[in-house]
Chains A and B, each alone.
Chain A
Amino acid sequence: MFYTKRFRGGTHPPTNKRLTEKYPVENLPHPQKVIIPLQQHIGTPAIPIVQKGDSVQTGQMIGKSDAFVSAPVHASISGRVHAIEPRPHPLGKNLLSIVIESDGYDEWIDTVKPDKNFMDLSPGDMIHRVQEAGIVGMGGAAFPAHVKLSPPPEKPIENVIINGSECEPYITADHRLMLEKSDEILSGVKILMKIFHAKRAFLGIQKNKRNAIRLMRKKTLPERNISVVPLTVKYPQGEEKQLIRAVMGREVPYKGFPMDIGCSVHNVGTTFAIFEAVALQKPLIERITTITGPGIRHPKNLRVRIGTPFQYLIEYCGGYTGAVVKLINGGPMVGVSQVTSEVPLIKGTLGILVLDRKTANLKPQSPCIRCTRCVDVCPMKLLPNQIADFVEYNRIEEAYRLGILNCMKCGCCSYICPSKRNLLQYIDLGKALWHEKQEKMNQ
């Protein structure tokens, strides 16, 4: 048994990780065609720097932006640029994307080469390599990593927290990564500590990944200032603020950021990508993802090139088992449901989940019976039922006073509600209406 740390609130959806947690990561054969959206991150979209018809090599930069909060994109296979046009994007909408047809050779660009002395680089050079590699938060939020690595000088980062909790049900990509690439992750942690001049690093792992905790503990044994923290199995353990609360016992102040209390949180997938960017000079062109769910015939963990269409991945996993109700980019709690399987895998796709009718649990809404379950599970200590009621009757002012903007959309309230009320949907709507109102007032 491990002594585990926890935060207040949260819920226990069935984790369903057995479907894939024992399967080693397989390399997906390269697809014939990849679709690379120019925006796979939070911030300014990249601008294409190749033309239709150009031939590109694997790892070649094909889109970038001069804005700081942005991330470049790279060709994930070698071949010819087939089209630059809006294509369906897994986060909704059609967005400008670069379509590359494979030449079948997978020729890498020659700038990708291992650098033995990477630990001697200055923090600035490291951040530069991370930025050039187009790394974003791989836990789903997809915030450009180099921005997170460059906090203002008045906010020193003393503690680096690595998020290996993987609280999202079904998804096992980070778990497999920790088991198979533990040395690389550890090097990534050291790079992060060097960049921040941090004193300590914590690797938070949920207790349902015992083998990963044991392995990482063994690997970190010689390191005095890197420790593994076992965490209670609870959703949303991997949310930045809840993770800091569990690991450090401190709360990130209202409207604040982790750097305000000297912390910086990075997903293990991001840590691994940062290692590859700094030590191998390799851009982010592939990631580990979990193709899973009751609607998939052979669930798998796969190493996939960015831009691979969902359809190709699903066929590789044996196709659908039967009537499919939902196709989701990400996990069941925060993932985005898809209109079509033509969408490509992007940097933030931690998994692809296929749900059938039974698991989707589609029930009509009933009135709130004030059972207080949403209040008990809300990790931000809000009153979701009251906020949703106010939004339902268009009383946005009251919803604002109840702290609607603090909601970080973990979805615990909607999950737990016995009346099947779509509380998070109301809260999202309320936020949008509030911002709309503010804009009108400012005009």
Chain B
Amino acid sequence: MVVIFAILLLNAWEVGFFVPFLFNKYTNVPTMINLLQRIGLPCLAFLALVACNSDDNGYTPLTYVAVDDAAVVAQNATISINVFANDENVPQTGSLSVSAATSGSVNILDPNNTPDDPSDDLIEYTADGFTVGEVTFTYNICEGGTDNCVGATLRINITPVSPVNFNLEQFPYENLSDYNFFDGAMADQLPVYGVLPYKPISTLFTDYALKKRFIWMPDGAQANFTESYELLDMPVGTILIKTFYYDNVLPAGTTRIIETRLIYRKASGWEFAEYIWNDEQTEASLNLDGAFTEVTWLQEGVERTINYRIPSEAECFTCHKTQLDPIPIGLKPQHINSDYAYNDGVSNQLQKMVAIGYLADNLPADIQTVIDWRDISQPISLRMRSYVDINCAHCHSDDRHCDYRPVRFAFNETADNVNLGVCVDPETPIPPNTQIVVPGDIDTSVLYFRVNSEAEEYRMPLLGRTIRDDQAVAMVEAWINSLTGTCD
């Protein structure tokens, strides 16, 4: 018993070590359960130390043990905290008191109207509008008056209020600037507080366009982990922001931002918005009709020109859907379980989301994670699987646009080469190709033909590119050549 307990506690301590502080920008009463989950783990770690030490000394479990708590709240916002959730043997008689709090006001709530029972009470803290940072105060339960008081410390991290202009009912706004996602000149794409940059480990090729991606959530809302390969379960109000741009655009060699795509979650589901940037690069305007714009730029020193496609809503939906519901693609744990260089330092992206309160701290220890397919130090099979996952699986999965073809490209399905089309007959023959993938023979492999093709009716992916990704084609070739054996 003691051994098992110690192991559990050790694990808890490790997690707690990685996450010494759990933040939440702000939590309203309805999300209190989430908050409790979040603050529970490090406090358990604290308990672990006490318990291990106390065990040898004849620790008496019936003694009330109060454990410190932590919470996150935005300026001018109020949070309710069940400080007893991580305490042990909370007495059902006595009185709860709190010390004076700075930078805001503190109240004790008795939601069940049980004045003699403190165990169901909550502590409510409202931060003022002047302070950012940590405030601490203590809470105590006393047997009568001030006798035999036992308590702990409550740390509250007061964060800035995200200045994003959030009025979901008014979405989509006419102009990108209306959201106030960015500080200073919008073209600099410097996010305001709460607009968190992210980057999938492997990315979709879209005619060499560069991308900046951000995620934002409303105060008090957070996502939950479900599976490594499933989208994070993101709350209503979540906004994903993705800006497409080119560097070294000719003639002047400047940066040109073309478009910023949004997908945001309403109570009824995800919706798209699309903003096309003006020539002055000062504003982007809502336009879901789709458009073309010519771009000439230097790609690794070589001049290239394409007729860049800005997608219409229906094109967004073609890839971002399951049945009739729009969905994001890249916000799966397997895609963002990697380090990112934030302004305040390098951090794992999932842990960063936990730290700022965007993600519930219930991540498993083992997250099946893709690799960057461009990383030539990685095994070729893993590169191939990671490439097709982010470039192909959004159509070649159940209930998606091309679910009827006999391939399955999601990362969690491609350990089996059959799902990659190896020795699988195509249902639409394209002579002289014989199978979707023929080991060692790119000249008869439909998959190679399609990733190598620029013809609109043959190329894969179908949408998002008009030219081939030479690096990807070379990788696919290497992968096919790495396969051995012959098809029946």
Is this pair of chains taken from one and the same complex? Answer: no
Binding site for B on A (CB under 8 A): none
User: Which residues of B are in contact with A by a Cβ distance under 8 Å?
Assistant: none
